[in-house]
Amino acid sequence: MWSWRLSGRAAAAPGDARRLALIEDDEQVRESLALFLKRRGFLIEAYPSAMDFLHRPRRPKLACLLIDFRMARVNGIELLQTLRAQGDKTPALLITGLFSSTLRARALAAGFTDVVEKPAMAEKLEARIAAIVKET
């Protein structure tokens, strides 16, 4: 089971600035991370696959996408490339347990803001989301 250290709440932001999408195929990671972020004051839309996210009904604008790298059928980089080709410019963070400098370079070239490594990612992820939300 994953555990996340809780050290406070995210600053309240108006409207969509707190709405995040989490695309993660590992159910335990998805549920744990969604709970962690909800406790931080974020509104979370969680999806078990890239295909589920791509086929979702249109929703309000998202402040940030949190996308797992290694998923069945469509990986995280392919998902963001698809979204960018459709004109979606939502900031995105790639989360992965397979970190390498090559993967980071590929992710940044695809349009990710940063890559956050699992499992010890809670604090870095929160900091990166806060920076993205502040910029929007």
Q: Over the stretch 33-92, which tens digit does the pLDDT of each residue have?
A: 999 899 989 999 999 999 999 998 877 789 999 999 999 899 999 999 999 999 999 999
Cβ atoms of 73 and 43 closer than 8 Å: no
Most confident option among 3-7, 16-20, 28-32 = 28-32
Q: Maximum distance among all alpha carbons in the chain?
A: 38
Quick one: CATH architecture of 16-135?
3-Layer(aba) Sandwich (3.40)
Domain-by-domain residue ranges, the chain?
16-135
Order of strands, sheet of 43-47, starting from the edge strand that comes earlier in the sequence: 43-47, 19-23, 64-68, 92-96, 114-117
**Exposure string (b/e) for 16-44, b if CB count within 10 Å is 16 or more?**
ebbbbbbbbbbeebbebbbebbeebebbb
Tokens 């989301």 belong to residue: 129
* Confidence band of 120 (pLDDT split at 50, 70, 90): low
Q: Is the pLDDT of residue 117 over 90?
A: no
